[in-house]
Amino acid sequence: MVYDLLVIGAGPAGSVCAMHAAKAGLKVLLVDKAKFPRFKSCGGALSKRTHRQLGPKAKLGVNCNADGLVVWSPGLKAADYEEPNCLDLVVRTEWDHKVLMDAADSGAEVLEATMAKTVSKNGDKYKVSLSSGNQVSCRYLVIGDGAGLRSYKKSLGFQQPYDHMARTVCAEIPLDDSIIDETLGTRRKIHIFFGVVPRGYGWLFPKRGHLNVGIGFGNASAPSLTQFEVFDRFVTQLKEKKMVPSDCDFSCRVAHPIPFKKPFEPIGSDSALLIGDAGGFVSPVTGEGLYYGTASGLHAAQAISAQIDGTAQVDLVSDYTSRWMADFGTDMIHSGLWLANFVYRSQKRMELMVRMMIADEKTRRTAARMIMGIASYSEARSRILKRALLSAAKSLSV
C-alpha cells in the first residue's frame, strides 16, 4: 500500500501533523521507535496559544495551570509576576500519549516500537525501511524525530549546525503535593533563574505531584563545567535557598540536546519536510518548542494537503516555508533572535533586565507575558525598548 503521508516520530510535532493530515482525509502512517507512554526530557511549560493546534485529549490532558512566574537575576533579585491561569504545565510522559491518541482517533494509522531506519526515493515515492523488517511507500514524508541528525536525514541533505544547538539537563521527580505547597506555596508559579549559565538559564517548575528542575545553555557559549556539574550546582543552590526539599533526589537527571537558534536550512527537500525539533522549531529566547513544533506540524499537514488537492500555487517546500514564516517565523527569527542576543549578552545584562522588571510594572508584565508565549517577540521588543530608559533609571533603586 502507498500512504499519502508517512510521519517519522510521534512526539507532539509528529502526532499533531498526523492528526491534521488524517482529518483532511489523507491516508497517514505515524511511526515511533518508542512504545507509549514514553519519557521525554522537558520542562513541560505549555503556552496557551498551543491549544489552537491540539486535539481534544491533549487539550484536557494538562497537569495543572500556572498562575504566574518569578524571574531571578544572577544576583538573586526576584521579579514576581502574577496572572491567574496564564500557562499550562504538562508531564510529558502522560501528555505525549494523549497527543498521539488524538492522531489515532482522527484516523492516522500508528505503529509504535517501530524505528525508521533508512529512506530512499524511488520515482515520485519514498521508501522507508522499518525496524520490523517491513518497507513502506509514501508520496510525502514528514520527519518529526526530534533533535539528532540521523543518517536518513543526512542522506536527504538535511543539516543541524553545532552552534544552532543547546545542551540541557533536566529531572522530573514525583513529589507529594503537600510538600510542594509547603515549599513553594499552593499557587503554582514557574521560576526562571538567569546567571546559572552564560547563555541560558535554570528553571524550577512545580506541578501537581511533580517537581521539574533543569538547566540549558547554547553550545556556542558552553561554560568550563560539564552540563551535569552545572545542574548539580544549581540543585545545591535551590536546596540552600530552601526552594527544594533537602532530601530530594535528582539522580534521575538526563541530558538532552535542543535546537536554540532558528529553523534549520534546508527545511524541506522535494516532498519531505522537517517539523518540530528535527526542523529547529524552538524559541531562541526561552527554548519553548511545544508551541513551535506543533505549529510546524499543522503547517506541514496543510501544505501537503494543498499539494494533494491541487490548491497549492507553489512547490511544497516554498508553501510550507511561507506558512510558518507568516504564522511565527518572522517574529521568532527577527525579534526573537534580537531579544535573545540582547538578554543573554552578559550576566550584567541579565541582572539589568530583571531589575528593570522589578522596578517597572509595565516592563515586568511585558517580559513575563513574552516568556509565557502570550505576547509576541516583536510586541515585547518594541514595548521594552520604549520603556528602556525609564525602567533602567528606576532599576537603580532596586
Ligand X SMILES: Cc1cc2nc3c(=O)[nH]c(=O)nc-3n(C[C@H](O)[C@H](O)[C@H](O)COP(=O)(O)OP(=O)(O)OC[C@H]3O[C@@H](n4cnc5c(N)ncnc54)[C@H](O)[C@@H]3O)c2cc1C
- Which spans of this chain sit near ligand X (rule: CB under 6 A)? 8-14, 31-34, 40-45, 115-116, 144-146, 150, 168, 170, 214, 256, 258, 276-278, 282, 287-291, 293
CA distance 24 to 322: 20
Quote the strand ranges of the chain, DSSP E: 2-8, 28-31, 45-46, 64-72, 78-89, 109-111, 116-122, 125-130, 135-143, 165-174, 190-194, 200-206, 210-218, 254-259, 268-269, 272-274
Supply the minimum distance, in Å, between the C-beta of residue 8 and ligand X.
5
Neighbouring-strand partners of residue 109: 29
CB contact at 8 A, 185 and 242: no
Give 151 or 382: the residue with its C-beta nearer to ligand X.
151
- Dihedral (Cα; 340, 342, 346, 348), 10-degree rounding: -130
**Closest Cα to residue 166, out of 106, 206, 216?**
216
Give 10 or 58: the residue with its C-beta nearer to ligand X.
10
Give 235 or 359: the residue with its C-beta nearer to ligand X.
235
Give 115 or 222: the residue with its C-beta nearer to ligand X.
115
Q: Which residue is nearest to ligand X (CB)?
A: 289
Supply the minimum distance, in Å, between the C-beta of residue 193 and ligand X.
14
Supply the minimum distance, in Å, between the C-beta of residue 43 and ligand X.
3
Please count the CA atoms within 13 angstroms of the CA of 173 that sit on its side-chain side. Answer: 18
Supply the minimum distance, in Å, between the C-beta of residue 130 and ligand X.
8
Quick one: how far is CA 34 from the chain centroid? 19
Supply the minimum distance, in Å, between the C-beta of residue 311 and ligand X.
27
Provide the 10 A C-beta neighbour count for residue 111: 19
Give 8 or 374: the residue with its C-beta nearer to ligand X.
8
Please count the CA atoms within 13 angstroms of the CA of 337 that sit on its side-chain side. Answer: 12
Supply the minimum distance, in Å, between the C-beta of residue 371 and ligand X.
11
Supply the minimum distance, in Å, between the C-beta of residue 6 and ligand X.
10
CA distance 370 to 87: 12
Give 4 or 145: the residue with its C-beta nearer to ligand X.
145
CA distance 333 to 329: 6
Please count the CA atoms within 13 angstroms of the CA of 1 that sit on its side-chain side. Answer: 8
Give 70 or 359: the residue with its C-beta nearer to ligand X.
70
Distances (CA, A) of 243 to 204, 240, 267: 9, 8, 41
Give 145 or 360: the residue with its C-beta nearer to ligand X.
145
Cell numbers that stand for 121 in this block? 526515493
**Closest Cα to residue 71, out of 222, 204, 168, 187?**
204
Quick one: how far is CA 99 from the chain centroid? 15
Give 33 or 364: the residue with its C-beta nearer to ligand X.
33
Supply the minimum distance, in Å, between the C-beta of residue 148 and ligand X.
7
- 314-347 burial, b at 16+ Cβ within 10 Å, e below that, comes to eebbebbbebbbebbbebbbebbbebbeebbeee
Supply the minimum distance, in Å, between the C-beta of residue 152 and ligand X.
7
Supply the minimum distance, in Å, between the C-beta of residue 344 and ligand X.
17
Give 214 or 218: the residue with its C-beta nearer to ligand X.
214
CA distance 163 to 218: 7
